[in-house]
Amino acid sequence: MRRNSSTLVYTIIALIFFASCAERQNKSEVQTVDKGTIHLNSIGYLSDSKKEITLSTESKTFELKQLIDNKTVYQGMTTGPDYQEDVNQNLWIADFSDFTDNGEYYIELDNGETSASFLINDSIYDRPFSTVMNSFYLLRCGTSVASEYNGDIFQHESCHHNDGYGDYIGSPGVIIDGTGGWHDAGDYGKYVVNAGITMGILFFTWEHLQQNINESSFRIPGEVDNTLPHYLKELKWEMDWLLKMPYADGSGRVSHKLTRINFSAFIMPEEDDEKRFFTEWSSAATASFAAVAAQASRIFAPYDTEYANRCLSAARLSFNYLIENPEEKPFIQGDFNTGGYQTNDLDDRLWAAAELWESTGEDQYLKYFEKTVAEIDYKSDENWDWGNVSNLALFTYVLSDKSGKAPDVLATISENIVKTADNISKKSYSDFYRRPLDLYYWGCNGTVARQTLNLYVANKLQLNIIYKEVAQNAVDHLFGRNFYNRSFVTGLGHNPPMHPHDRRSGADNIQSPWPGYLVGGGHTATDWVDLEEDYARNEVAINWQAPLVFAIAWLLK
């Protein structure tokens, strides 16, 4: 995902893709499927959850029918119409929350129209969770991967063994070990800032929802070593790579990314043999790295003391470098045309301080956090991504049980987090597809998933059933209760994306795309297209996957 790169570059790249992909037109055509007018979460509903769906046709009544014998098990009245301006539609709501029997059902309207079938039971999110987690395994670099899904084997050979060259960090022609980690997105690059927010959210998920995760069925394909929970084992694959990104000079500065000069064509990763380079360091990448390494130190401590200590030393070293060098050091693309991920470092520094404090309890980090958080007015954001991770810092701080927090700082931040969650909730209930985000842009589906963290933390601070309902609304939206009546996640739910901007999916010979990936989404409420070339609307990316893991993990029973 590369929101910061220039339009011109992308226009050129898009033209190259159009030319190079001409022989695979069958994978690139826009699907023209009749949308239908019954918009619902096609994964299904938990038996005790709110069960609400949206209709884009008038129907005064609706029936819930059993798939097995078409027997009507529930009848209700709809509410509406309500006009939804951004899609220019009249919409109705059907609610069957008080129906709780397990089974497989569909909705029938009074005009005879029927919906896709869906399940009601408490294990509906088990498979989505393991599929979305497995998508990280499938992004592994520096190794071969293989995983069966719906009868297809998704696989590639070991890749990028020469990661990477040191030409831009003072060692021309020298290969320094930067192998491993996850490919970032539709391209095969590896970017520290985006790995940072991704790991930050995945570690947060583990810290708060590990009981749900432990009881789920996620297993790494072919993995027989159980010394770590498989969830953490997968995160360690990325962490091991991140630990290779600081400069070898012992300063603590961290290379901003490890990529080619230009994006590759749509080829499999093992065919991508152009030179890849460590780029110059940035202060944002250094701070982001320090935050994640600090998290890793406390999360791996119960399993591997030596590894935990290594992570903590690396986090301290990088943060100390930033203390001694307080000026912003931006990343400059120079020769590079791959993802920029250029961002100010203040939020990343704030986050690093919060995580180092949570892991060590040391006053120096708490003081740094409380001083720096004033510079952002203690503000919690509704709409956030890799460019602003201050929420992660705030969440760690308010949920910490460590002593020493300044009561006024804690109170102000807590109040702001609750206010933000209230705004998110208000927006969800003023949208008749119940989408909690009122903006559309590159990667906004990832933000819809990410807002569930705001709701979770607010719910911890001030228990309110609405917050979890709105998180459910967000998940409903991503799995089909949307304008398109389609799941936004490959391989899951009703009519999912078939042509994501993903090099593996485009370059293998399998019709189905690699499974478990959330696509970025439209830039307006109606302009998303399931088109491989449309990297701005249909790419996949680790920073959208991670909050989807969180959102689903919160719903696991």
Alpha helices (H) along 389-492? 390-399, 407-430, 444-461, 465-478
Query: Rounded to an integer, what is the distance from CA 378 to the centroid of its chain?
Result: 24
Q: Is position 187 annotated as part of the catalytic site?
A: yes
CB 176 within 8 A of CB 516: no
Residue 307 or 514: the one with the smaller Cβ distance to Zn ion is: 514
- The 3-state secondary structure of 254-280 reads EECEEECCCCCCCCCHHHCCCCCEECC
Task: Name the residue with the smallest CB distance to Zn ion.
Answer: 141
The catalytic position among 52, 108, 184, 187 is 187
CB of 229 to Zn ion, least distance (A): 25
Distance CA 91, CA 98 (A): 22
- The 3-state secondary structure of 107-139 reads EEECCCCECCCEEECCCCCHHHHHHHHHHHHCC
Residue 356 or 542: the one with the smaller Cβ distance to Zn ion is: 542
CB of 179 to Zn ion, least distance (A): 8
Query: What CA–CA distances, in Å, run from 511 to 32, 43, 506?
Result: 17, 22, 9
Cβ atoms within 10 A of the Cβ of 413, count?
A: 22
- List the one residue from 91, 132, 159, 193 that touches Zn ion (CB under 5 A): 159
CB of 503 to Zn ion, least distance (A): 10
Distance CA 183, CA 268 (A): 12
Q: Is position 530 annotated as part of the catalytic site?
A: yes
Per-residue contact track with Zn ion, 287 to 306, x per CB under 5 A? --------------------
CB of 160 to Zn ion, least distance (A): 3
With 0-12 CB in 10 A as exposed, 13-18 as middle and 19+ as buried, what is 226? exposed
Radius of gyration of the chain (CA): 23
Q: Is position 527 annotated as part of the catalytic site?
A: no
Residue 61 or 144: the one with the smaller Cβ distance to Zn ion is: 144
Query: Rounded to an integer, what is the distance from CA 454 to the centroid of its chain?
Result: 14
Residue 1 or 159: the one with the smaller Cβ distance to Zn ion is: 159
Dihedral angle, C-alpha 14, 18, 24, 26, nearest 10 °:
90
CB of 492 to Zn ion, least distance (A): 25
Per-residue contact track with Zn ion, 107 to 146, x per CB under 5 A? ----------------------------------x-----
CB 442 within 8 A of CB 383: no
496 binds Zn ion, rule: CB under 5 A: no
Residue 255 or 360: the one with the smaller Cβ distance to Zn ion is: 255
> Site size for Zn ion, by CB under 5 A?
4
CB 156 within 8 A of CB 265: no
Per-residue contact track with Zn ion, 11 to 50, x per CB under 5 A? ----------------------------------------
CB of 249 to Zn ion, least distance (A): 26
- List the one residue from 186, 269, 443, 522 that touches Zn ion (CB under 5 A): 269
Closest C-alpha to 342, from 290, 391, 284 = 284
The catalytic position among 238, 501, 532, 534 is 501
Distance CA 166, CA 24 (A): 36
CB of 158 to Zn ion, least distance (A): 8
Residue 141 or 299: the one with the smaller Cβ distance to Zn ion is: 141
CB 366 within 8 A of CB 357: yes
Amino acid at 40: L
CB 338 within 8 A of CB 2: yes
Q: Is position 501 annotated as part of the catalytic site?
A: yes
The catalytic position among 530, 532, 533, 534 is 530
Residue 159 or 308: the one with the smaller Cβ distance to Zn ion is: 159
- List the one residue from 160, 427, 435, 468 that touches Zn ion (CB under 5 A): 160
Residue 316 or 504: the one with the smaller Cβ distance to Zn ion is: 504
| Interaction site with Zn ion (CB under 5 A) | 141, 159-160, 269
Catalytic residues, which ones? 187, 501, 530, 539
